[in-house]
Amino acid sequence: MLKIYYSRPIALDEIEKAIRKNFGISVKDAGMLPIPEKAYDITRRQYNAAFLVSILPPYSIWIVDKDIYVDNMNFVFGLAMQNRAVVSCYRLPSDTMIAKEVVHEVGHIFGLLHCKNECVMQFSNSLAEAMKKPIKLCEECKRKLRRQLEK
């Protein structure tokens, strides 16, 4: 089971459906989680994604409404580390795009890497790139996921 936290009320139906379809797992609404001001970088005017991920319990994802970054990048849509992830809806224009990025980060939670196929696990460095990729795993990533889950 994957726990979903959020920083503001959000419609979870599409996200839950996409997670269930791609990973076959259930989702628990873990509720609102306030963003600590300690995560804010005043010089960048963004929130540190690694800090946000570090305060989550394992197998959880946090959907935040703030702009997030990692070192050496202008921004990120999301970040996964150590079986937990954060996704920012700040630059994502629709619930479908939020669901797509959540599925991508959940893939990382379960050990998938970036993929070159027509797959949700493609790396996205811009909104245009994120919009082009599908909301589903390719067959190769599905096989890798099955092997990961069998361990």
Task: Judge whether 37 counts as a catalytic residue.
Answer: no
Domain ranges of the chain: 2-150
Beta bridge partners of 131: none
Tokens standing for residue 115: 């993929």
Architecture of the domain made up of 2-150: 3-Layer(aba) Sandwich (3.40)
109: helix, strand or coil: helix
Catalytic residue among 105, 118, 139, 150: 105
The per-residue pLDDT for range 76-120, each reduced to its tens digit, is 999 999 999 999 999 999 999 999 999 999 999 999 999 999 999
Distance between CA 26 and CA 6 in Å, rounded?
17
The per-residue pLDDT for range 44-81, each reduced to its tens digit, is 999 999 999 999 999 999 999 999 999 999 999 999 99
| pTM score of the predicted model | 0.95
